[in-house]
Amino acid sequence: MYTVKEIVKILGVSAPVVHDHAVEHLLIDSRKAYAPTVSLFFALVSSRRNGHDFIGELYQKGVRSFVITQSVDTVNYPDANFIYVSNTVDALQKLAAVHRSRFRIPVIGITGSNGKTIVKEWLFQLLQPDYRIVRSPKSYNSQIGVPLSVWQMKPHHQLAIFEAGISQPDEMERLEKVIQPTLGVLTNIGTAHNEGFLSLAEKEKEKRKLFRSAPLAPALQLNTVTIQNGFALLQASGPLLKEGGSVTIPFTDEASIQNALRCWEVLLALGIPLSVIAARMKKLTAVDMRLHLKKGINNCQLINDAYSADLSSLEIALTFLKQQGGSLKRTVILSDFLESGESDAELYAQIAQLLQQIAVHRLITIGPRIRSAFSNLSGGWQLEQYVDTTHFIQQFEARKFQQEVILIKGARSFALESIVPLLEEKIHATRLEIDLNAVVHNLNQFRQQLSAGTRLMAMVKAFAYGSGASEIAHVLQFQGVDYFGVAYADEGVSLRQVGITKPIMVMNTEEPVFDAIIENQLEPVLFCFSLLQAFDSYLQRQGIQSYPVHLEIETGMNRLGFSENEIPALITYLSSTSSFSIQSVFSHLAASEDPASDSFTFQQFSIYQNVTEQLSSQLNCSFIKHIANSAAALRHPSFSMDMVRVGIGLYGVENSITQSVQPAITLRSTIAQVKKVSAGSSISYNRKTILDSDAVIATVRLGYADGYPRQLGNGVGQVVVRGKRAPIVGTVCMDMFMIDVTAIENVHEGDDVILFGKELPVQEIAKWAGTIPYEILTGISQRVKRVYFQE
């Protein structure tokens, strides 16, 4: 760990350090200030973003050191350090290069046109049993990604694996100074990123500069390949395998065979015995490269590959399109291809040929270059063209997409991912309406109860389904909440996809969602040793350190969390790993709303305080402390500590709240049919309701599959129609139920029905059903459309 003064010296500049502190994290994205007090922000400047614009936001988050190239009014930041340099990227690389020079371990440098990330990930799989490895996260291989990767090196690491990518001459010389490899891997030389080079020969010459001071792993000669039952048996020979040898891999495509060969060469160079290599190669697993099939609107299938645009990956995507499309018509949405070096005429002619080969029915182009090229090409497809993504979205009509398989593929700069939500399937039935004005009002009611400096976490898990949750989160983010809490990772992913940048805590973490958590910068709650160990192992495999996590403590709920007697072992484990950065330690109160349980509530609080004191002192770290929910924040103000979690109270539903809150949620449906039914007739299944007299019966489009309680049938519950209450008659069915509207005039098919809301409080519904409002609200099915409105 470096100090700010040491970094100033490394960068060779003169800068006053008014607040010296340790620096653990190099930060380039204001949204990822997970550990602000030990972060150094580099204000990068590009055509799209100017890092200097985010200094104020980061200062508010607690960051106190900044590397800058533009003047800053330091009066606004009295205790901040500003390190002025001529180029922030150069400074970032210089600092990383010095850091790298302090290690004497094997460093594998990987470059090539394709396959870098897969070779890196496979090498990690193959070498992990022998080394503690640090490696590039995902595809961090750029002028910025490489120094951030190298900065991860720590004294306990025994091997490093870094990939390097370039798009123009002279870039590799800079990356070589940062990586300083001791062993090299060249995957292949292809057409990706050709536009910056005069020829493939020039590109290869530039890429080989990575190995200026390091040998390439001795090459193997592939002699034979035998394919059988989904496996490939490779037989090869070479300088380190003079008598020849063989390995088997669970892949049969040419790219995987070549990538496996490169890995085999590295393992031999590191002295791994052939028998060990063969055993491990057979267990290689696939690396997810983000090509996914989803359900689309109007019986469509959707393939989302909106992050890359080159010929090689296009061929793969089109093959997938052909395999998955079946008899559906084929539609392809393409942006300009920015990452190929041929002339536009040659490039798009090749693309047209690929599209013709799979019989594309409709082609939609986005971008000026592809628009111009395909205006002069004929391929038998229907052609639609848009100058940019914004124009496509503005003119989008869902009805134009019917029973087809749709591939979305384009360069990152076109942000085609914003098209995906338009084409994904959305399920609409009855609707749950949320009044955002009421939510803001209720939020402010809680804030008035908090001490200055107490943070607020908004629990959005009750409504974190689809795009609706994003509306609440956007409003709460605008209102300045500090954290969001969700139940599951997919809810957090949905928030990230619509631009929520505040930290998001995931309460129920599972191993299958680790990828989604990392990819979307979500912060998992760790509540037991098996989960702690699993996430630690995952982070080590990914080469990630100091990832933000939250610890849950068991103080009396007996649900989830580390118990008090497990804390010594927890401290020992956390002291032995560098994978985590503890953001908060929290617990749940079992009955904070109940005065009769106050003694138990105070007992929980006492246990929690004891545990947090142990963790803080023995781990020598600080973290956010929070135990108070909505009720505790109001009834026990001393429990508020560093942060309060506000959940159902935001929606005006909290029995312990005494201040003026507003109901924010209304569940509505409509009447499907109205009929006159004679006395003596039975209503619904099981014939539990027999009419005593003639009646007018209306059928409502909602049932227990939508989350409406079956307990409300047969006269137990009521609804509101035309401002009056109507009893439920008969058993609640899966998709509908019946009501008696005899006493209500002029009821017609299509009329609104209010299941709960301002006119009929959800607390009353819960009482009839023998439960609590939480269960009613959170039980509303995902097939019920969420509609959010705000004045």
Q: What would the two tokens of residue 505 be?
A: 């805590």
Are 314 and 336 in contact by the 8 Å Cβ rule? The answer is no
The Cα–Cα gap between 231 and 175 comes to 37
Please tell me which residue in 116, 409, 461, 625 is annotated as part of the active site: 461
Give the whole-angstrom CA distance, residue 763 versus residue 776.
9
Distance CA 666, CA 757 (A): 4
465 noted as active-site residue: no
Cβ–Cβ contacts within 10 Å for residue 288, how many?
A: 10
Q: What are the E-state strand segments in 22-63?
A: 22-23, 25-27, 39-42
Q: How many CB atoms lie within 10 A of CB 242?
A: 8
Do the Cβ atoms of 168 and 142 come closer than 8 Å? no
Catalytic (active site) residue 685:
yes
Partners of 226 in the beta sheet?
Answer: 233
Identified catalytic residue from 5, 154, 295, 685? 685
Would you call 354 exposed, middle or buried from its count of C-beta atoms within 10 A (0-12, 13-18, 19+)? Answer: middle
Q: Which residues of 137-147 are buried (b: 16+ CB within 10 A; e: fewer)?
A: ebebbbbbbbb
Whether the CB-CB separation of 442 and 650 falls below 8 Å is answered with yes
Element (H, E) at 669: strand 665-677
Cβ-contact 531, 573 below 8 angstroms: no
Tokens 């330091």 -> residue: 74
Residue 53's alpha-carbon distances to 30, 81, 481, 713, in angstroms, are 10, 16, 21, 58
CA distance 187 to 46: 30
Nearest to 700, CA basis, from 641, 660, 747, 762 = 747
Residue given tokens 């460093």 in the structure block: 107
Distance from the Cα of residue 623 to its chain's centroid: 23
| DSSP H stretches of helix in 297-435 | 311-325, 344-357, 368-374, 389-394, 420-423
Which ranges in 584-697 belong to alpha helices (H)? 598-619, 630-635
Under DSSP, the state recorded for 443 is: H
- Neighbour tally for 360: CB within 10 Å: 23
Residues with catalytic roles: 461, 685
